[in-house]
């Protein structure tokens, strides 16, 4: 967390400005930030010194993770915003070309943000994959986009020989918990981290001992977190959606699937030798390649 307790009022105002404009920081130089905010560069340097960051890249990194996402600080990402990107306006978004251009830009930003978040939480991802590799049973739950995404991940992992049980909202919670075997994995996808039914389920599951529990969410302030051993965060790619002024609609499924593909590949690296001998897995891959 960024400590702002020793900042002046002007510095707190600048901090609040950056909280609301993380995307702008990603694509701007220090000169552009100072010009857009209306201050001198020396003011920003003093600000960085007070909060003990080395510069703009580290500040983006820390600020973004505090917001529940981890922004990339690669110079490549800053260079991707070309002059043409900057000139796309509301009128252009009413054309197919403008919509397509905005979608591609949003996908690219989101993938970079999620990649940076995965790097930041790599030890958690490895622990998840190692745990999945060691247990015999996995119990999963999600609603809406999260339900689709968790099915997508474990649909592939089932090809690796993992026994997976899905809980659905219209099923009996007590029976689901009763059937849970010790030393299993309980994993929940909840993009918003808010649904009352999900909270009801995880509170009851939390009372059961000898489970490895994981939560995937885009909500850094979710009340669900205290009921899980490990919480993994993904980027909320619809956070800044302006559907009135720039009506380009995007799906939270993008962040969920990026995470899924990351997990599949880590799991494969850990278990590559054993998986290469599984006929069902090889048939699945060959089936896609031969289309």
Q: Tens digits of per-residue pLDDT, 39-64? A: 998 999 999 989 888 888 778 777 76
Site of tokens 């010790």: 182
pLDDT in tens, 189-223: 999 999 999 999 999 999 988 899 999 999 888 99
Q: What is the mean pLDDT of residues 138-165?
A: 88
The residue extents of the domains of the chain are 1-67, 122-289
Most confident residue range from 28-32, 38-42, 53-57, 71-75:
38-42
Helical ranges in the chain per DSSP H: 9-20, 22-26, 30-37, 41-51, 56-66, 75-79, 83-86, 96-120, 122-134, 145-157, 173-178, 196-206, 253-270, 272-275, 279-289
pLDDT in tens, 163-177: 899 999 999 999 999
24: burial class by Cβ within 10 Å (0-12, 13-18, 19+)?
A: middle
- What CATH class has 122-289? alpha beta
Of 85 and 242, the one with more pLDDT: 242
Instruction: Indicate the pTM of the whole model.
Output: 0.69
Residue 34 has pLDDT above 80, yes or no: yes
Q: With bands split at pLDDT 50, 70 and 90, how would you rate the model's confidence at 232? A: very high
Two tokens, residue 111: 């993938």
Q: With bands split at pLDDT 50, 70 and 90, how would you rate the model's confidence at 71? A: very low
Classify the phi-psi angles of 86: left when phi > 0, otherwise alpha if psi is within -120 to 50, otherwise beta: alpha
Q: Please give the share of the chain, as a percent, with pLDDT higher than 70.
A: 85
pLDDT score, position 236: 86
Of 66 and 47, the one with more pLDDT: 47
pLDDT score, position 197: 96
Residue 22 has pLDDT above 80, yes or no: no
201: burial class by Cβ within 10 Å (0-12, 13-18, 19+)?
A: buried
What is the distance between the alpha carbons of residues 42 and 45, in angstroms, rounded to a whole number?
5
Closest C-alpha among 14, 234, 241 to residue 112: 234
pLDDT in tens, 261-290: 999 999 888 888 877 777 777 777 777 766
pLDDT score, position 220: 84
pLDDT score, position 142: 96
pLDDT in tens, 92-146: 556 777 777 777 877 877 888 888 888 888 999 999 999 998 998 999 999 999 9
**Rounded to whole angstroms, what are the CA distances from 27 to 12, 32, 33?**
22, 9, 10
Of 88 and 256, the one with more pLDDT: 256
């Amino acid at each position: 967390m960024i400590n702002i307790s020793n900042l002046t009022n002007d510095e707190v105002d600048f901090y609040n400005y950056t909280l609301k404009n993380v995307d702008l920081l990603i694509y701007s130089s220090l000169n552009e930030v100072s010009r857009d905010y209306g201050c001198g560069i020396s003011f920003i340097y003093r600000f960085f010194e007070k909060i003990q960051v080395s510069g703009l890249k580290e500040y983006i990194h820390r600020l973004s993770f505090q917001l529940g996402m981890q922004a990339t600080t690669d110079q490549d990402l800053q260079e991707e915003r070309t002059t043409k990107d900057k000139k796309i306006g509301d009128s252009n978004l009413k054309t197919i070309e403008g919509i397509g251009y905005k979608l591609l830009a949003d996908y690219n930003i989101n993938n970079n943000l999620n990649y940076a978040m995965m790097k930041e939480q790599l030890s958690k991802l490895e622990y998840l994959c190692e745990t999945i590799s060691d247990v015999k049973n996995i119990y999963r739950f999600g609603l809406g986009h999260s339900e689709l995404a968790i099915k997508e991940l474990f649909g592939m992992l089932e090809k690796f020989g993992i026994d997976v049980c899905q809980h659905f909202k219209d099923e009996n919670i007590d029976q689901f918990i009763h059937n849970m075997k010790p030393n299993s994995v309980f994993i929940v996808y909840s993009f918003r981290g808010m649904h009352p039914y999900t909270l009801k389920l995880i509170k009851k599951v939390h009372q059961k001992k000898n489970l490895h529990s994981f939560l995937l969410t885009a909500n850094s302030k979710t009340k669900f977190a205290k009921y899980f051993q490990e919480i993994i965060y993904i980027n909320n790619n619809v956070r800044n959606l302006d559907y009135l002024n720039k009506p380009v609609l995007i799906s939270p499924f993008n962040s969920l699937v990026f995470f899924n593909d990351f997990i599949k590949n880590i799991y494969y690296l850990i278990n590559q030798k054993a998986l290469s001998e599984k006929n069902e897995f090889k048939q699945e891959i060959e089936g896609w390649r031969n289309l």
